[in-house]
Amino acid sequence: AQSVAQPEDQVNVAEGNPLTVKCTYSVSGNPYLFWYVQYPNRGLQFLLKYITGDNLVKGSYGFEAEFNKSQTSFHLKKPSALVSDSALYFCAVRDIGGTASKLTFGTGTRLQVTL
Amino acid sequence: DAGVIQSPRHEVTEMGQEVTLRCKPISGHNSLFWYRQTMMRGLELLIYFNNNVPIDDSGMPEDRFSAKMPNASFSTLKIQPSEPRDSAVYFCASSLVGARGTEAFFGQGTRLTVV
């Protein structure tokens, strides 16, 4: 069975500082990995994905993530945090072994950026 | 495209009543997911469809929950009878499974309150 772990319930960072939100995954085959963001009373919004190729992927709003196969990790990063980045962040994995595959989410990490 | 459309946005019902949540996926997408989000349990996958066929319903809590996808442009999630513990935000998401288009797009959710 596939799974995603987000070990931190909350991450606090000062505006202008770099941020990292951690994610590790477990799948039986090759993973497709995703990050989503959720603002209050809204649905989840897609940020970025890793399918294949370069291990460093860039996404929306200046976010990037690094795929590390040996550590089975896909941490979300941003060089300089903004207060407006404060939200709930979800990591997700999809095991593409065929045409039918489930999308499994982690428990989410709340990012709080302060002035 | 207008994105994934869910209705209603809010639903308040009395315990024991039947509740039907509706979802219109993005045109051309061939996978559809129903998720439930609560503070206690986070984001749970209830069921997902591929090409209108239910693939995995292991997340459906019990027999009171049922989901259908009669065609590629419409899905329903029904709870009968509803109970207070069903109160949550229910999200529908759709995606195109393939080499590139693997991210899922979420609707705005239906906030269900059972009193």
The pLDDT value given to residue A51: 87
Distance CA B93, CA B99 (A): 19
Please determine, for residue A100, whether its predicted confidence score (pLDDT) is greater than 60. no
Please determine, for residue A27, whether its predicted confidence score (pLDDT) is greater than 60. yes
The pLDDT value given to residue B71: 95
CB neighbours of residue B62 within 10 Å: 8
Nearest to A99 among B50, B106, B108 (CB): B50
Structure tokens belonging to residue B37:
């989000």
The pLDDT value given to residue B41: 86
The pLDDT value given to residue B2: 80
Digit-coded pLDDT (tens) for B19-74: 999 999 999 999 999 999 998 888 999 999 989 999 989 999 889 999 999 999 99
Number of residues in chain A: 115
* Averaged pLDDT score across all residues of chain A: 92
A32 neighbors A94 (Cβ within 8 angstroms): yes
Subunit contact B108:A103, Cβ cutoff 8 A = no
Digit-coded pLDDT (tens) for B103-112: 899 999 999 9
Distance CA A9, CA A11 (A): 7
Structure tokens belonging to residue A13:
């960072």
Subunit contact B104:A46, Cβ cutoff 8 A = yes
Please determine, for residue A1, whether its predicted confidence score (pLDDT) is greater than 90. no
Distance CA B107, CA B95 (A): 12
The pLDDT value given to residue B99: 56
B31 neighbors B106 (Cβ within 8 angstroms): no
Subunit contact B43:A51, Cβ cutoff 8 A = no
Cα-based angle B32, A64, A57 (whole degrees, multiple of 5): 70
Q: Of the candidates A33, A38, A11, A37, which has an alpha carbon nearest to the alpha carbon of residue A22? A: A11
Provide the CA A3 distance to its chain's centre, in angstroms.
Answer: 13
Nearest to B43 among A90, A99, A100 (CB): A90
The pLDDT value given to residue B40: 87
Subunit contact B43:A107, Cβ cutoff 8 A = yes
Q: B28 Cβ partners below 8 Å, 6+ apart? A: B96
Q: A58 Cβ partners below 8 Å, 6+ apart? A: A48, A64
Digit-coded pLDDT (tens) for A31-70: 899 999 999 888 999 999 998 888 999 999 999 999 999 9
Cα-based angle A55, A48, A107 (whole degrees, multiple of 5): 100
Cα-based angle B85, B86, B87 (whole degrees, multiple of 5): 90
Judging by beta carbons within 10 Å of its beta carbon (0-12, 13-18, 19+), is residue B89 exposed, middle or buried? middle
Confidence of residue B100 (pLDDT cuts 50, 70, 90): low
The pLDDT value given to residue B91: 97
Nearest to A44 among B55, B99, B106 (CB): B106
Digit-coded pLDDT (tens) for B84-98: 999 999 999 999 876
Which of B114 and A104 is assigned the larger pLDDT?
B114
Which of A97 and B89 is assigned the larger pLDDT?
B89
Please determine, for residue A98, whether its predicted confidence score (pLDDT) is greater than 80. no
